[in-house]
Structure 1
């Protein structure tokens, strides 16, 4: 599998023409790995809750995904100073159109 293109400033990856915020590159490897492990655990919990038809477990699991994504910097406040967040925007409609 090839890695998706990254914007020149390193803030986003481009998937099917859409910008997705990258994880904060200033996180230490150990901290990033811990957050990724939490994210994977939460995603497995989402899968299991969906398979089990448990709405309460699903809400909890999705909350855990959100917490892990915020910790990684992929959601929540931006990890860079200044500019607006263009997460989930179509690249062709942004300054990254080139």
Structure 2
């Protein structure tokens, strides 16, 4: 499996034609690593809560996933400063990346 395409400005990856915001490249390596570890632990907690059907644990685990993703810059306020809108989850073909996306020969 190859890595998903990254938009020319480095803000998004494209998965099945949809834009997904990338982590903030300005994060220090140790800060990024700690947040990724938090995210993986929170995702394991989601899986565990789903297996035990525990609504309270599930809500807590999902909140931890969200907090880690916000810390990484994948959710919440955008990490870029040029005023460009957040196109997270938009179809690439319906955005300012449409020409770039079409040039990759993807649909």
Name the TM-score class by shorter chain. over 0.9
How many residues were matched structurally?
98
Q: What TM-score, normalized by structure 1, do the two folds share? A: 0.98
Matched, 1:26 2:41: no
- Once the two structures are superposed, residues 49-97 of structure 1 have per-residue CA deviations (whole angstroms, 9 ceiling, x without a partner) of 0000000000000000000000000000000011100000000000101
- Once the two structures are superposed, residues 3-58 of structure 1 have per-residue CA deviations (whole angstroms, 9 ceiling, x without a partner) of 10000000000000000000000001110000000000000000000000000000
- Alignment match, 2:88: 87
How far has the Cα of 1:2 moved from its partner?
1.4
* Structure 2, unpaired ranges of 5+: 100-107
RMSD: 0.5
